[in-house]
Each structure stands twice: as structure tokens, then as C-alpha cells.
Structure 1
Amino acid sequence: MPTPNPDAYAFLRTRRSRPAKTLTTPVPDRDTLMALLTLASRTPDHGKLEPWRFIVIEHHAMGALADLAASRAQALGLDPEQATKGRTQFDQGHLAVAVIEVQKPSPKIPAIEQTYAAGCVCLSLVNAALAAGWGANWLSGWPSHDREFVRQAFVLTDAERVAGIIHIGTETSTPPERPRPDIEALTTWL
């Protein structure tokens, strides 16, 4: 018979990301953030490739990233709403961690499994922050997928891409519960 962990089960049953725009200071200090990153790395990783790395974006760097997003939006000819959305996540941010997927050559581990592993790190970082009492949100948006933005902002190589940008801080308000999937409709039994 399995040994349940009621606290972990209750947390997972009620976990809820916090909108990044509602996060403020204080943010985790370096030691606290390193502990959260350590927890985030406890994820499935076939082949033990560690196909990810972290870039910590502190408050002083947010303005430059916001300006770069605005510049790239103009160069791409994006509409004002898209441009604003790309800029805002940095304008309003106080601390974020870019989880970078790093594709590693492997004869046994397909690239897609490395992508999944990096995605698991993103969710684990959100959950670790929430479990520690912080507010957290996983964002991406068009800047994360614009090769020129990520090359300039994060100095990514061609073998790297942004899996997610995890904003972490103190929540200012608890968001309302949102509709959840109909699990019965999404489940097939064989």
C-alpha cells in the first residue's frame, strides 16, 4: 500500500499560478532562489542530459529587456497590442528566471524528450515557488520565440531556446479560480 503525502496532495489539488502582473517585491534573495532552482531540477530527465540552464533576470535588467522587446516588435511590424504585451512582462517584472532548453546530441534521447524535460523544469520551478509561499507565473510570449530577441537578450546559441520565463515575487492578490478541464471527457481507458 502506498504511503500518501497529504500536504503535497493538497498543494497539487489547489495549486494556482499567480498572474505575473500581480507580483511585486519582495522577491526571493539569491540563496532562496538557488534553493528553488535546485528543487526545479528534480524532474524527469531521460539520459541525465540536463537539457536546460537558467538565466536569472533581476529587476535592474528588466528595463533593457522591455526596450529590446519594443524595438523587436517595431522591426517585426507587430500591432500595438502585441508590442505592448511583449514589453509589459519585462516592464512590470521584478524577478524572473528564463529556463533555457539546451538540445544535447544523444543517440538514445530524442530531441522532443529534451524539450519535455525543460518544460518539466518550468512547471517544477513554478510549483517550488508556490510551495515556498511566493507567487509565480510561467510566461513565454512572442519575445521568447523571436530568435533575434533571445540572441540579443540571453545570448542563446542555435541549439538553445526559451522554454519559459518564470516570474517570481510576492503576490498582491489571490486570483479567482478558473475553469478546469473536464477530465472524464479527456480520458480514454483501454
Structure 2
Amino acid sequence: MADKTGLRAYLAQMTEIFPPAPAVGTPMLPARPSPEACGFLSLRRSANKAMLTSPGPTGEALNEILATAMRVPDHRRMSPWRFIIFEGDARARFGQAAAEVQRSEDPSAKPEALEATKTLLMRAPTVVAVVSSPTDDGKTPVWEQELSTGAVTYNLLLAANAAGWAGVWLTEWLAFSEGINKLLGLEDNERLAGYIYLGTATADPQERARPDAAPLISHWSG
């Protein structure tokens, strides 16, 4: 296990993993064939939420992951998303406040449910809430902006994974509560796409059944 301990220490200190973005206007390749990337994508797997521990990405390492995550389709450069980061003691403080929200929204909530809420964000050392923040300006459809938010959330998982971190995208009731939205300072046009839990896996996730592509694909013939 000494090698794994060393790996965790190395990952915790890594920065500048991703190359910097080129200057605006730089010609870019339309395709980047990469067998390694194909293998990476074909084997993508979320970590088990109960099997994440420290360390997690922080500081500049996390900033690089988020900057890379934002390289997604974004019609008219609306940037219709933003991130809220939870680290350290802030996770527990959020849990306490979330339990109060739960108590007010569901007076029948049992004590064990409230206690569970207090520990939700403690399941990983780094948690990133992704907020969908579209602008209804009559030009870029809100639906397109929400799709872009889904893309940035997934890309965040991929970027973190490529940087050596385990992660999982969860919603749970925290993503559908008006009280939580208010607690996090969301505007009326905003909602939570979910919470990305990031850290170091304590066990390897097992492969699960994947859908058969054939019945999900059709060819339009006119």
C-alpha cells in the first residue's frame, strides 16, 4: 500500500496538468485522433459515493480542472453555468444548514434522516455544485444553455478523472429544494445540475451493464 500512499501525495500536489488555452484567434485542429482518449472514454466509470476519501483536488489543481471543464459547446459564449466549491469545514457547515432546510420543508423528517443530511457532503474532500444559470434573451434558447450545463458537468468529471481523481455526479434532494437554492444564493433563473464529489477512491468501482447501442440508433431516410 506504500505505492498508493505515495500516489495520493503526488496527486495532491499536482498542478499544471492541462496545457494552457491558446490565444484567442489561434487556428485549432478540427479533430485530434487519440487512441488513448478513445480508451479513456470507453472505460469511463463513476466512483462509488461511499468509497471516496482524501486527498481531493484543491487550489490551482482544482482551478485547472474547472477551466478545462468549461471547454464545452456554448452557443454565443453565454457561459450559462457557474460553480460553488465546498471544502474543509464548509462541508459540515453546509450540512448543518441543509438539515435545517430539510426540517422546515419536511416536518415529518426523522432524526436519522436529518443526521444523514448533515454528512452528505462529508463523503468526499472536494465537492463542486454546478449551477445552471441561463439567460433568456430571446436569442440563445434556454434549453441549449441547459444542455451546455449538462456538458460542463460531465466534462468536469472527465477532466478530474484524467487528472487522476475519482468522482461521481449526484443530485439527491439537495438539487431540487427551494430552500437549498436560497441557501446557496441561486437566482430565480438558476437551478442545480448536481453535485460533483471528487477525491481518492478507496476501492475500484465494478463495471456495470451498459445499454445495447443497436436499438437506440436509427437512420432517417426521408
Give the alignment's TM-score, normalised by structure 2.
Answer: 0.78
Q: Is the 8 A contact 1:20 1:89 kept in 2?
A: no
Q: Are 1:158 and 2:211 counterparts?
A: no
Which stretch has the larger CA shift, 82-91 or 109-118?
82-91
Please list the CA deviations of residues 27-61 of structure 1 after superposition, one character each: whole Å capped at 9, or x if unmatched: 11201000000110000111110001111111211
Q: Which AA in structure 1 matches 2:182? A: R
Amino acid at match of 2:190: E
CA offset at residue 85 of structure 1? 5.8
TM-fit CA distance, 1:82? 6.2
Give the deviation of 1:87 after TM superposition: 4.2
* 2:168 matched residue in structure 1: 137
CA distance in 1, matches of 2:32, 2:152: 25
Instruction: Give the partner amino acid of 1:122.
Output: T
Q: CA RMSD in A?
A: 1.9
Aligned equivalent of 1:27, options 46, 56, 75: 56
Match in the other structure for 2:65: 36
Change (3 A) 1:107 1:57: same
Task: State the alpha-carbon separation in 2 of the partners of residues 85 and 179 from structure 1.
Answer: 29
Matched, 1:48 2:81: no
Native 8 Å contact 2:92 2:119 kept in 1: no
**Distance change (3 Å), C-alpha of 1:5 and 1:158:** same
1:174 corresponding residue in structure 2: 204
Larger radius of gyration: 2
Give 1:143 deviation, angstroms. Answer: 1.3
Aligned with residue 86 of structure 2, among 53, 57, 70: 57
Decide whether aligned partners of structure 1 residues 115 and 31 sit closer, same or farther in structure 2, where only a CA change above 3 A counts: same
For 1:92 and 1:55, how far apart are their aligned partners in 2?
17
Identity of aligned residues (%): 35
Question: What is the aligned length?
Answer: 188
Does the alignment pair 1:14 with 2:48?
Answer: no
Amino acid aligned to 1:64: R
Q: CA deviation at 1:98?
A: 0.9
Alpha-carbon displacement from aligned partner over 1:58-116 (angstroms, at most 9, x marks no partner): 12111122122222222222654865664442132321111111121322211111111
Counterparts of 1:83-102 in structure 2 under 5 Å? 86-102=117-133
* 8 Å contact kept, 1:97–1:167: yes
Q: Distance in 2 between matches of 1:54 and 1:74?
A: 26
TM-score, normalised by the number of residues in structure 1: 0.91
Contact 1:72 1:149 in 2 (8 A): yes
Q: What's the CA shift for 1:155? A: 1.2
Amino acid at match of 1:69: A
Q: Secondary structure at the match of 1:168?
A: strand
Which of the pair has the greater relative contact order for Cα pairs under 8 Å at 6+ separation?
1
Distance 2:88 2:175 in 1: 18
Tell me the CA shift for residue 176 of structure 1. Answer: 0.6
Distance 2:32 2:72 in 1: 21
Secondary structure (helix, strand or coil) at the match of 2:55 reads coil
Residue 26 of structure 2 corresponds to none
Q: Deviations over 1:115-136 (max 9, x none)?
A: 1111111000000001111001
